[in-house]
Structure 1
Amino acid sequence: LGAPDEDSALTLLPAHSLLLEGKGYEAVALSALGSYGAILFSILLILPMRFIIDSPFNSYNILHEIMGYILIAITILMIATEKGRITDFTDKGVIPSILGIIFAFIVFIISGIFGLMILDFPVASPIGLPAPVLFPALAGLFGLPTLLTSALTKPTIPTQTIEDVEIEEKEKKSSILSIITGSLAGILVSIIPGITSATGTILAMNIRGESSRRQTIVTLSAVNTACAFSVILVLFIILKARSGAALAIQQLIPIEEWNTMNIPLNLVYLMASLLFSGTLSYFFTIFIGKIFAQRFTGIPYQPLVVATIVIIIILVSLFTGLNGLLVLLVATFIGLLPISWGVRRSHCMGVLLLPITLYFLM
């Protein structure tokens, strides 16, 4: 969902632009490849991660002491590598690129100030459900703007081409590099608070240099999967939950700190289940993706987008009440800025990055 029209496709996700070219299945297959590759690579790094994060290297404690400066460096890199060009004033020289960076900085600052403002903003569920203020904030910054843009522009989704994805020998090496850099970035995301998979992808892409849309999809999927995999490992090493899934696991099973050579039994079970489910998911994704692509044009796309928007609004109302709807509204306006300006939406992560950075610096 949330596919743009043809004119704005290049400012959004590579997968969306492939979808508009009738290559949605190719995007799905590449994403599955990146995810499965990240699982296999992350499995190989289980023991090295234990030694690097904890004793004898104790990198987490070292990073924790300078975390504020690390977050500042990541923020600068994220903004400085903005590729968007603002051509409203001129399309010549470096001015459009400089304006793109300035606009990215503005999005980051506005999002950051918004994050500071909602830290203690009172939200309450009218039916007694948990009321996390970040739910409407993140839904507004990243969810609704894309859906609204798609609903208003009414993109035409072409018939999808169903072909097995062929990767040439040269691109195989590039895919392996994408998986490795994406996985390493995903591991970093699982350790450092406040940065997301989108930020991790930016880091990975800068490490590996320029790449195609196909490799961007592989890298992004590798980052996401490696992060999801690594947060479980990090939970057993530093006893801190870095995601909702890790928090749920922490509440469901006893977490034994991994401070010896022997891997905790519960961690072994979790790693085995992740490997098994990841393998099944890869083949199911390829299979179901092909079926879905064949029938995609028959799906009532616009009603589905509108229904999704309505569901998000209803959920926000149920979980966070009227104040949550206010947060959602403001966040949506902020989230529309990068889309309308043509800069990366990841700059909206200022909503978390700025407050967390200030926390570590103070």
Structure 2
Amino acid sequence: MEEISLFLILFSVLAGYLLGIFSGLLPGIHTNNFALALVALAPFLAERGVAPFYIALVILSNAISHTFHDIIPSVFLGAPDGDTALAVLPGHRLLLEGSGAEAVRLSALGSAGSVVVSMLFVLPFSLFFAAVYPYMHEYMAWVLLTIVFIMLASEKGEEVKGQGSLAKYRYKAYALLLFLITGVLGLFAFSRENILLPVISLGQASVLLPLLSGLFGASQLIISLLTKSEIPAESVSKFELSRKRILRGVFTGSTAGSLVAWLPGVSSAIAALLAGLFVRSDFDRRPVKKDSIGPEPGEQKSFLFSDPDSDCRALESSKEFIVSVSGVNTSNAIFGLVALMVIGKTRSGAMVAVNEILDTGSPDFQVVQLFFAAVLLTALFSYFSTVWIGNNAHHMLRKLDYTKLCTGVLAGLAITVFLFTGVFGLFIFLISTPIGMLPSFMKIRKSHAMGVILLPVILYFL
């Protein structure tokens, strides 16, 4: 490898970090967009003395920075990308409970903690998957089916006195129904992904944008409008979650993200679902309560209300899950690089771009060391900027009328979907939104809607 410039290394890391802020905060923009653009620019930059190594550093830093900042639109706008879809409901709930800034800070801590845990996992996981990877593809469908079975079997629904012993089976049936409905929707959408005609083309259009924006974003915003929620005057930024829950969230998220990064066709969204099985996930079956007063005497309790004790447990679970999801995304990005080095396989658009740019097979030890140094430096920058944005976003949003804000975000989501996926994407978005509202009325966990990804992937491996 040619002589390395410390200035160019720092400049590349900073450039990738700033691009990650941009892609993380703007729904519809993904790290793959910048990765593809940099691949196209690589020959031009090489002619001007910029080595491919520095371009790869930009792409890697962008991918890490994105995993820190993409929680912010999920929490404050209800606008998910493929990696933060499951975080929308708990994040939005925390926002309306006055803990939006804390949710972002916990997310930043989850991502930063996962960097440390992932570094500890690199050697043992590399040795393990180098040995077992040749046998994994054959059994992948059964692994995913096991995850689905556990997810459905663990659904308990809402506990209501006097509803009978068979009620739990009704909720499991609802969960299965939602899984199948969203799975069929996913099959329909993915099979027609080639007909997406975006108005603005930034690489290959993905049907995940309208699917996840409808199922997890727009649906929750509409329910917030129906319940007439308001953003509280104050937003707590200090941690109000036990150290045990924080550590458990970091560990489960990092483990799930690290494992899934080796598996073909399995996204970090599925890793988040897997991590959620280890979190008391009663948060994602309850919509935001209408107010803190509760129903009038003699009035039947509706899905808009929840008792204080269960509401407190739900908030703690929401916070832990935010930590876990963030750990999933960051560790998945790190182990995408490790998988490329160990088994020579790419698991993300960013790693495809890095592999294409370097074009030298497995990078040498010096390059690997510099890549991990870039990850650590980007994580340090990203933690502080994510916390700062989270602390200040609440004050800006508080000045806006929440009903108008939700309406504006809904319109913004629809416009974003139309611009980046065209008329067919908008059609998928409009179908996905009411389906995404079903869990709130069925009183089941919204994570079952991940059938939209799981069912197509399972059928692919069968």
CA RMSD across the alignment? 3.1
Deviation at 1:249? 3.5
The alignment status of 1:138 with 2:212, answered yes or no, reads yes
- Residue deviations 1:10-65 (CA, integer Å, cap 9, x gap): x98444333333222222222222111111111222222221211xxx22222212
CA 207–302 in structure 1, closer or farther in 2 if over 3 Å, else same:
closer
- Choose from 177, 182, 199 the match for 1:111: 182
Q: Which moved more, 1:330-339 or 1:270-279?
A: 330-339
Q: Which moved more, 1:119-128 or 1:213-222?
A: 119-128
Deviation at 1:298? 1.6
The alignment status of 1:99 with 2:170, answered yes or no, reads yes
CA 117–22 in structure 1, closer or farther in 2 if over 3 Å, else same:
closer
Instruction: Write the letter of the residue equivalent to 1:144.
Output: A
Give the 5 Å matches for 1:90-239: 92-121=163-192, 122-125=194-197, 127=199, 129=201, 130-162=204-236, 164-165=238-239, 171-193=242-264, 195-197=266-268, 199-207=270-278, 212-213=316-317, 214-239=319-344
* Amino-acid identity (%): 37
Q: Is the 8 A contact 1:198 1:346 kept in 2?
A: no
CA 80–191 in structure 1, closer or farther in 2 if over 3 Å, else same:
farther
CA 149–123 in structure 1, closer or farther in 2 if over 3 Å, else same:
farther
SS in 1 for 2:424: helix
Give the total of aligned pairs.
342
Give the 5 Å matches for 1:71-90: 71-85=144-158
Q: Is the 8 A contact 2:230 2:402 kept in 1?
A: no
Q: Is the 8 A contact 1:85 1:96 kept in 2?
A: no
- Choose from 266, 282, 299 the match for 2:400: 299
2:431 aligns with: 330
Deviation at 1:303? 3.2
1:23 aligns with: 99
Specify every segment of 5 or more residues in structure 1 that has no aligned partner in the other structure, as ranges. 4-10
- Choose from 105, 112, 117 the match for 1:36: 112
1: distance between equivalents of 2:444 and 2:348?
27
SS in 2 for 1:242: coil
Instruction: Write the letter of the residue equivalent to 2:139.
Output: I
2: distance between equivalents of 1:128 and 1:21?
37
Deviation at 1:243? 3.0
CA 250–97 in structure 1, closer or farther in 2 if over 3 Å, else same:
farther
Specify every segment of 5 or more residues in structure 2 that has no aligned partner in the other structure, as ranges. 1-75, 79-86, 282-312
Q: Is the 8 A contact 1:182 1:204 kept in 2?
A: yes
SS in 1 for 2:231: coil
2: distance between equivalents of 1:324 and 1:335?
16
SS in 2 for 1:119: helix
Instruction: Write the letter of the residue equivalent to 1:116.
Output: L
SS in 1 for 2:261: helix
Instruction: Write the letter of the residue equivalent to 1:25.
Output: A
Q: Is the 8 A contact 1:160 1:296 kept in 2?
A: no
Deviation at 1:277? 1.2
Deviation at 1:248? 4.2
Instruction: Write the letter of the residue equivalent to 2:110.
Output: G
Deviation at 1:145? 1.5
Give the 5 Å matches for 1:276-295: 276-295=377-396
Deviation at 1:203? 3.3
CA 97–293 in structure 1, closer or farther in 2 if over 3 Å, else same:
same
CA 2–190 in structure 1, closer or farther in 2 if over 3 Å, else same:
same
Q: Is the 8 A contact 2:253 2:272 kept in 1?
A: yes
CA 184–235 in structure 1, closer or farther in 2 if over 3 Å, else same:
same
Deviation at 1:94? 3.8
Q: Which moved more, 1:330-339 or 1:208-217?
A: 208-217
Deviation at 1:197? 4.5
- Residue deviations 1:298-349 (CA, integer Å, cap 9, x gap): 2343333333322332233233332222222222232222233232222222
CA 103–194 in structure 1, closer or farther in 2 if over 3 Å, else same:
farther
- Residue deviations 1:96-131 (CA, integer Å, cap 9, x gap): 332222111111111112222233325242647344
Deviation at 1:71? 0.9
1:246 aligns with: 351
Q: Is the 8 A contact 1:191 1:234 kept in 2?
A: yes
